[in-house]
Amino acid sequence: DTEVTQTPKHLVMGMTNKKSLKCEQHMGHRAMYWYKQKAKKPPELMFVYSYEKLSINESVPSRFSPECPNSSLLNLHLHALQPEDSALYLCASTTGSVVKTEAFFGQGTRLTVV
Amino acid sequence: AQKVTQAQTEISVVEKEDVTLDCVYETRDTTYYLFWYKQPPSGELVFLIRRNSFDEQNEISGRYSWNFQKSTSSFNFTITASQVVDSAVYFCALSEPQGGSEKLVFGKGTKLTVNP
């Protein structure tokens, strides 16, 4: 199984809503990532979890709150978002070891904030 | 800081033409990794190739080939006999290893359209 599964695929939320994005992998990877991709732009790193600990936060606003409940799951909790937060949110995973491999990406969640 | 430049924003070719996508990178690290990813309209990033900084061998995989030249900091990607299914956005990326995790720095991408 070389898949990273993200749910939901599409999400429309109001600025006062609270929602969560979910990401799951069963490859035994120990590093998991959230990337944000605006239309016609490259993905930009938001957060990295390494061995279930937050290791990188790229100065992301607090209205985005990541969580890694276990080594297979990664969540992104959303609260009080702005319309400019509308984007494709991509989850990825890597082995997390010194042996470097490619990152496996999920299909993403297309988020629209209204 | 690390940087990846893909100067070609959009390329349009006719099926069966060969096409080369350019990638130039900047880094101060001696150990680094370069990647190419394909992003079809469905959104997921599909891994194509990984190359580490110590391996300058060019690689061929079917219709795809990659030319890594450290002297010019370039990692170009050629598709031979292009097909309509090759239409996608292609990203070149550079990895900044940070302990056990890696931060990918992406170029802006090249949108390839292959017309029948």
Q: Decide if pLDDT at B99 tops 70.
A: no
CB pairs below 8 Å between A and B: how many? Answer: 72
Closest CA to A108 of A47, A14, A22: A22
E-state strands within B32-100: 33-39, 46-52, 59-61, 64-69, 74-79, 88-98
Strand partners, B64: B61, B79
pLDDT in tens, B40-95: 988 889 999 988 888 888 888 899 999 999 999 999 999 999 999 999 999 999 98
pLDDT, residue A2, reads 64
- The C-alpha atoms of residue A34 and residue A55 are separated, in whole angstroms, by 12
User: Average per-residue pLDDT in chain B?
Assistant: 92
Please state, as a whole number, how many other Cβ atoms lie within 10 Å of the Cβ of residue A35. Answer: 26
Look at residue A38 and give its three-state secondary structure.
coil
Among the partner-chain residues A33, A97, A102, the one whose CB lies closest to the CB of B100 is: A97
pLDDT in tens, A36-89: 999 999 999 999 999 999 998 999 999 999 999 999 999 999 999 999 999 999
Look at residue B76 and give its three-state secondary structure.
strand
Instruction: Check if B99 contacts A (Cβ < 8 Å).
Output: yes
pLDDT in tens, A6-43: 999 999 999 999 999 999 999 999 999 999 999 999 99
Instruction: Starting at the earlier edge strand, list the strands of the sheet with A64-70.
Output: A4-7, A18-25, A73-79, A64-70
